Structure 1
Amino acid sequence: MKAGTSATRALTEEAWAPVLAAAGAQGQELGEQILAVAHEIASNALRGPLTDPNREPEDKASLACRLFTGRADARVVELLQGMVRGRWSRAVDLISALHDLGIQAILSGAQAGGTLDDVEQELFAVAREVAANREIRQALEPARRTSTDARVRLACRLFASRISGPAMTLVVWSVRHQPEVAVGGVPYNLRRVTELAAAMQNRVIADVVTAVPLTTAQQARLREILVRRLGFDVELNLEVDPQVIGGVRVMVRDLVMDNTVRHSLAGLRTSLTG
């Protein structure tokens, strides 16, 4: 990220933090509006005019005001005006920043309202279902034969009746947004928002792979070991893979702990072949 974007984001976050703190549980609604504004800007090719370095900052702020006053909360409009007054290295960086602020606002509002853990668990459940069901996963991924709106409608049919409004907003964002990573898509986005929700509660998600399902006692013991080692509360994301043969592989962020038989055999083969 270049200096223009970095500096503008830092100033925006500094100005927005007290507004979000004062909003309390209303942050959820503000976050939903921020994501809606980002979607409209991206869908209607507005990011160019709103970030054009050749236009005067107040001209861009006035445009933002005309576009969204009466359609979004005054605090959201003021946030956007402050953002477009700044400089952006790329027009798309404005959209990315709005996404981050919208997600943060939804989660902060849920935390203030005492429902953050519920939102995290709902996102976690959706992420697991998408990961486990190849048909759903493929249907939600971008494809020439389906539009983004069609995929969003499908996600709503699948999940809206089972999860809260804030969680559903984040699921919709996960379906709409295409991450700038080689391997990403909906599972990546769902994991990202779930990890953010967990981090706000001083919790991390540990991916645990075993050859056979862990018992309740084994899960409790593993969680205890990880909490002691990592210094955080731990959410276990359990996966059964017979190919690991035996033992357990645990992945937390960039940390991998692998004592599976498959890993040991691979290490032995490497040693024997030099």
Structure 2
Amino acid sequence: MMRGASADAYAAAAAVLPGTGDLGRVGQDLFGTADLLRSEPGLRRVATDVSLRGEAKADLLRGVLADKVSPEALEVIATAVTQRWTSGRDLSDALEQLGVVATVRSTGGDAGRLEDEVFAVGRLVQANPELRDALSDPARSRSDKADLVEGLLGDKVLPATVALVQQSLSGSHRTVAVALGAYQKIAAEVRGEGVATVRVARPLADDDRQRLAGALARTYGRDVHLNVIVDPDVLGGIRVEIGDDVIDGTVSSRLDDAGRRLAG
């Protein structure tokens, strides 16, 4: 989350992010620029140097990126470098986040499906040690890992999902799974939603999902996207985590409470 001057800078750059057009291309261009700034510390220092005029920095980036990125992405980048950032890292992080926003917008009415797919891939990575190791192996090139993702997901998911999973390989987050979790939260914010992790002993029926989503929406004042995890440790009942709130109505929790009361 951006703070202080960086929050204002992010808002200024986000204001010129297009809502229509080839948003998939815009997202890829912003991802590429974020990666470039991370790999070129000299360029990053100049782009965030508060002693330089904003327009001079924008002209520099326009020269570096001319014919390499779309005009729409270049406008976002140029606006971003004219702003004041709390730290040099915040600029590249902001461009990556805006790339995620553009990628989510590129899916149109499939944004909810994108959220589900990103969550599912994150769970797959966490549950599969071989895949997790392959995607984090420093001996493998990022291109090789991206090809692995393409081969694994291919036409099984939205192109935008593949794009986000491939971006999660950039190393901007501690792990691929952490990156995907952050991307899903951004996707939810784009749709004006919250995100709830729901743990149950068995899959929820559609009616039960709708009732739960409706109850959470009434409680939190906005729609809530449900990440449902079937967890045998739950035994029965349901556990909901949304932000810092935990609603634990599982059988195991009730048994623990009963045991504490008896012990007391």
1:33-57 C-alpha deviation (Å, 9 max, x unpaired): 1111211222233212222234343
Report 1:205-244 matches (<5 A). 205-214=195-204, 218-219=208-209, 221-223=211-213, 225-244=215-234
The answer to whether the aligner puts 1:7 opposite 2:8 as a matched pair is yes
1:110-153 C-alpha deviation (Å, 9 max, x unpaired): 23xx332343343233233223323223322x344434443333
Change beyond 3 A, Cα 1:71–1:254 = same
The answer to whether the aligner puts 1:163 opposite 2:143 as a matched pair is no
The answer to whether the aligner puts 1:98 opposite 2:95 as a matched pair is yes
- Which amino acid letter does the alignment assign opposite residue 42 of structure 1? R
The answer to whether the aligner puts 1:175 opposite 2:207 as a matched pair is no
| Match for residue 53 of structure 1 among 35, 40, 50 | 50
TM-score by length of 1: 0.80
Report 1:1-274 matches (<5 A). 3-14=4-15, 16-17=16-17, 20-21=18-19, 24-45=20-41, 46-111=43-108, 114-140=109-135, 142-179=136-173, 185-214=175-204, 218-219=208-209, 221-223=211-213, 225-271=215-261
Amino-acid identity (%): 30
Secondary structure in 2 matching 1:115: helix
Change beyond 3 A, Cα 1:204–1:59 = closer
- Which amino acid letter does the alignment assign opposite residue 145 of structure 2? R
Change beyond 3 A, Cα 1:153–1:231 = same
Q: Is the 8 A contact 1:130 1:187 kept in 2?
A: yes
Q: Is the 8 A contact 2:106 2:160 kept in 1?
A: no
Consecutive unaligned residues of structure 1, counting only runs of 5 or more, are none
Moved more, 255-264 or 202-211: 202-211
- Which amino acid letter does the alignment assign opposite residue 100 of structure 1? Q
Secondary structure in 1 matching 2:106: helix
- Deviation of 1:69 (Å): 0.7
Change beyond 3 A, Cα 1:144–1:196 = closer
- Which amino acid letter does the alignment assign opposite residue 74 of structure 2? V
* C-alpha distance in structure 2 between counterparts of 1:234 and 1:3, whole Å: 28
Consecutive unaligned residues of structure 2, counting only runs of 5 or more, are none
Query: Cα RMSD over matched residues?
Result: 2.9
* C-alpha distance in structure 2 between counterparts of 1:81 and 1:219, whole Å: 44
1:177-230 C-alpha deviation (Å, 9 max, x unpaired): 432xxxx52222222222333344444443222334445665555445445544
TM-score by length of 2: 0.82
- Which amino acid letter does the alignment assign opposite residue 241 of structure 2? M
Change beyond 3 A, Cα 1:35–1:144 = closer
Secondary structure in 1 matching 2:22: helix
